[in-house]
Structure 1
């Protein structure tokens, strides 16, 4: 696994959880309105992307498959803690690699939650058992599932550059099946192609129209365009004064409304993290329970600044 420590570009920064390099008070974010609980289904994936932030691959099992029983235990905790969660979200790795994916999804749907599944819509999702399960759940809980498909770009050349030869065509095959089955779709793209956001959305709009995909390219909740998460880029630390300077509220940051559950290889039980983007940073592991995960989060990582506070990005729907 590559070195995940703070890069030289930010030398001297992000060392103290409470104080920035220049001695200012570091900003923190309280869990003010929990809306989404994420489950990482495991880091195993059918492909290995060029710039995967979580290093998913066919061999990386640093985060092992979470089980349906473990998911249900956290659903019980949501009820016990009276968290106003409306969405259960699954990410990976590739979620459909997990053999209990359909069971976990059904457990969340049966309790009335909306479900968001992040997928590359390739072979794992297209297995007969997974397609049958998705079709059955859509019939039983119509409109309650959204599958957000990773489509880095609207052209095969750029998408395949990140995800491997023919991956674009395989993903489009899966999306057409989702379309024909009536499952709700969204898309997650990227924004590092030397084009403006307006140009990117126009390109996705053409692709969606050509394929009859009911996805709004102009809606940032349906077509999510993520900035590149390059930890070698110099970024500012976020202080308590930044909220006023940026005219931004800590309630707008992703860790104000979500947490993620992971199961580390060799661990007896899952753990709850502050952020979906920092699965390997020990400082952002809050404990084993949702009660422990109610603690505030110190914004002590480059991603906190570039991706969330300054970039305004969010993984939730």
Structure 2
């Protein structure tokens, strides 16, 4: 696929929702098969990673804690709109910083959904109250609850480069606790290091074997390796012609099957955005309700190109 860059540079690209810098029709993605509704639990996190796309930290509260009753309102909307979704996802920040995380998961599971929680498995998850809640959820709902653990690299040194000294050991400690209560785990890693995918998966396989983790290193759904998201990296814009050139269809892109609910600091109520990757960009805020969020998404951001269309990645389980 040709790059649609112009002599005027990157700043012209991704400026018009409907037309590329070269004047071609920008690709869009309809919500064709809604399978996952995500909730951002808040951007506060117990750590500050070197390359966090959402800039989570102990100070970042641009997205505030969503409440269990607000989650329930959107679960009601799912049924009213007949989305036929199978999964409710929770991301942050660190979801277990939110004091209502266990209750939000419980309500979602009780409605019959699968639940996916993205966590670093560190101290917020290991508080006794949270541990008691997770034990109860695992006992009642089993494999319908999945915790996807952020393990940036299979080695402690490289993982700690991203998350801080000692973070690898604390995450492994949390994973061992989850293992012992029978919780279903998967892993999210990154591909920012100079190694092949085969070498990375071999490294994760050895890590899992050492600790007795029942996670398949070769399964992309259980060990998810995400490309690094840098908005300054030069990427091509996605035109309607790209689908045929790349032999892909809009149905394969994440925003065809999911939406995310966020609550902005100072907002009276939550809003629905196109996907988990773009919580701050106003052009991807689709409305306050699921009904308002059912329209097509214009692929007008570098993440749409690099991460979703060209990278083929998905945040869902």
TM-score w.r.t. structure 1 length?
0.97
* Match in the other structure for 1:131: 131
Are 1:211 and 2:211 matched, yes or no?
yes
1:221-275 CA-to-partner distances (Å, cap 9, x unmatched) read 0000000101111100000000000000000000000000000000000000001
CA contact (8 A) 1:9 1:232 kept: no
Q: Cα offset for 1:55? A: 0.4
Q: Cα offset for 1:142? A: 1.6
CA contact (8 A) 1:46 1:57 kept: yes
Are 1:170 and 2:170 matched, yes or no?
yes
Are 1:314 and 2:314 matched, yes or no?
yes
CA contact (8 A) 1:274 1:297 kept: yes
Instruction: Give the 5 Å matches for 1:76-225.
Output: 76-225=76-225
Structure 1: distance between partners of 2:9 and 2:294: 32
Structure 2: distance between partners of 1:69 and 1:95: 16
TM-score w.r.t. structure 2 length?
0.97
Structure 2: distance between partners of 1:138 and 1:208: 21
Structure 2: distance between partners of 1:124 and 1:83: 33
Q: Which runs of 5+ in 2 are unaligned?
A: 1-7
Structure 2: distance between partners of 1:165 and 1:68: 34
Q: Cα offset for 1:9? A: 6.3
1:129-163 CA-to-partner distances (Å, cap 9, x unmatched) read 00000000111112110000000000000000000
Structure 2: distance between partners of 1:25 and 1:298: 10
Runs of 4+ in 1 over 2 A off after TM superposition: none
Structure 2: distance between partners of 1:279 and 1:78: 20
* Match in the other structure for 2:40: 40
Structure 2: distance between partners of 1:37 and 1:25: 29
Structure 2: distance between partners of 1:9 and 1:268: 39
| CA-atom RMSD in angstroms | 0.8
Structure 1: distance between partners of 2:183 and 2:239: 43
Structure 2: distance between partners of 1:147 and 1:94: 12
Structure 2: distance between partners of 1:252 and 1:9: 29
Structure 2: distance between partners of 1:137 and 1:22: 52
**Helix, strand or coil at the partner of 1:255:** helix
Structure 2: distance between partners of 1:45 and 1:90: 14
* Match in the other structure for 2:4: none
* Match in the other structure for 1:303: 303
CA contact (8 A) 1:41 1:262 kept: yes
